[in-house]
Chain A
């Protein structure tokens, strides 16, 4: 078991609404990355947080934002939801500067935008 948890498991929203997804990282991991996975596609990197600061971002608009808290848990916020935001949202945690093979993914949150 990886120890990375995400909530909620599933979520349904309508266009224009805002959503907050949560990730609890594995104990001792201070780095959290978020990925978006559309149906039938591989995960796409959204951004990464290290010690409460964003330190890397993929090709996603500013309406995708995040937070990391002192306990290293993290939130992904998406404003003005669009239909194409329907996807599985994954978070992954590791120790900053640690090896990628020691990064663990959570089970994801399935977001449906109607």
Chain B
């Protein structure tokens, strides 16, 4: 699985859009970009994933650059409950043990 690089921490004001970057310059053609978040004292929660097109769901939007070497997770109207560690993971959809390889993630703090 390709390695990802994320900022260690970020701050965002409540009500504003939070934009979390992720670099994955060694991503392969068959690898997807997944985003998870982990709120304090809880297990990781799936947010969104994509291959090359931009994706949007009820939680967030995912913007993947044309060369697929980086992506941005966007939380359009951040709330205090969005304070969490956000993990960007790159992996292929293969059979067998579909383990997730987590890095250290970005600690996002939403400020009132």
Contact = CB atoms under 8 A, between A and B. Distances in A.
B partners with A: yes
B87 A108 contact: no
Interface in A59-99: 90, 92, 97, 99
B104 A42 contact: yes
Contacts, number: 64
Contacts of B91: 100
Interface stretch (B17-25, B63-71, B72-80, B92-100): B92-100
Nearest to B107: A40
B102 A100 contact: no
Interface residues of A, number: 28
Contacts of B43: 2, 4, 90, 92, 104-108
Chain B interface size band reads 20 to 34
B103 A97 contact: no
Contact of B44 (A57, A58, A90, A99): A90
Nearest to A31: B98
Contacts of B97: 33, 45, 47-48, 55-57
Contacts of A97: 95
B45 interface: yes
A43 B100 CA distance: 9
Nearest to B41: A107
Interface of A: 2, 4, 33, 35, 40-45, 47-48, 55-58, 90, 92, 97, 99-101, 103-108
Task: Give the 4 A-B CB pairs with smallest separation, nearest first.
Answer: A56-B97, A105-B43, A42-B102, A45-B99
14 contacts: A2-B43, A33-B97, A42-B103, A42-B105, A43-B44, A45-B99, A45-B100, A45-B101, A48-B97, A56-B99, A58-B99, A100-B93, A105-B42, A105-B45
Interface of B: 34, 41-46, 49, 85, 87, 91, 93, 95-105
